[in-house]
Amino acid sequence: MPDSLQKNDKTFLEEVERRSGQHMVECYQCGNCTAGCPFNFAYDLPVSKIMRLVQLGQREAVLSCHSIWLCASCQTCTARCPNNIDVAKIVDVLRHMAREAGYATERNVKAFGDSFLASVKKHGRLHELGVAVGYEMRTGRFLTDIDLAPTMIGKGKLSIRPHHLHGADKVAGIFNRFNEGNHD
């Protein structure tokens, strides 16, 4: 169905505005954000079009796109928006909403983030090897980055064991309270 025929979900626009603290109406579609976006070549929806679709209340089209998962949070769009809209923050919020609604359009990106946070929750600090292993278990991609391992091990850059942290239980507590609570 063309975008124009889909229903305009006003609650979507309101929720994005509330959670990001940004005024979406201020976007006048100049396209500066898209022009500077280094990931645009890999996006299915350019970032300025995402802004427009949020204005039009197109919840499904936005939350199911690939772009919001690929965004590197490089802040180029935010730095260059003539209306001082924090565009990168809006993309971040859209990613939160997509995740909560059960979308995972870029499965590997989600798996990488999940492995990363699982490592932090467990050890308090990041264990890079643990992230790689966790990522591979989640995606079944056993050979990812294996070519880098010999160099990393040779240079002493890949610790086999995680660092021990006295406050590891405090960090786990942050994650547990987060998982228990209702957050938006």
Q: Phi and psi dihedrals of 142, rounded to 5?
A: -70, -20
Cα gap 20→142, rounded to integer Å: 37
Task: Give the footprint of ligand SF4 on residues 68-97 (CB under 6 A).
Answer: 71-77, 81-83, 85, 87-88, 91
Task: Give the nearer residue to ligand SF4 in terms of CB position, either 32 or 119.
Answer: 32
Rounded to 5°, the CA angle 106-107-113 comes to 95
Cα gap 24→22, rounded to integer Å: 6
Site string for ligand SF4, 6-45 (x = CB under 6 A): ---------------------xxxxxxx--xxxx------
Told to check if 51 binds ligand SF4 by CB under 6 A, we report: yes
Binding window for another protein (CB under 8 A); candidates: 4-12, 46-54, 56-64, 147-155: 147-155
Contacts of 178 (CB under 8 A, 6+ apart): none
Contacts of 49 (CB under 8 A, 6+ apart): 34
Task: Give the footprint of another protein on residues 76-135 (CB under 8 A).
Answer: 76, 78-79, 86, 88, 92, 95-96, 99, 106, 108-109, 111-114, 116-117, 120, 124-126, 128, 132, 135
Task: Give the nearer residue to ligand SF4 in terms of CB position, either 27 or 56.
Answer: 27
87, 77 in Cβ contact below 8 A? yes
Q: Which residues bind ligand SF4 (CB under 6 A)?
A: 27-33, 36-39, 47-48, 51, 71-77, 81-83, 85, 87-88, 91
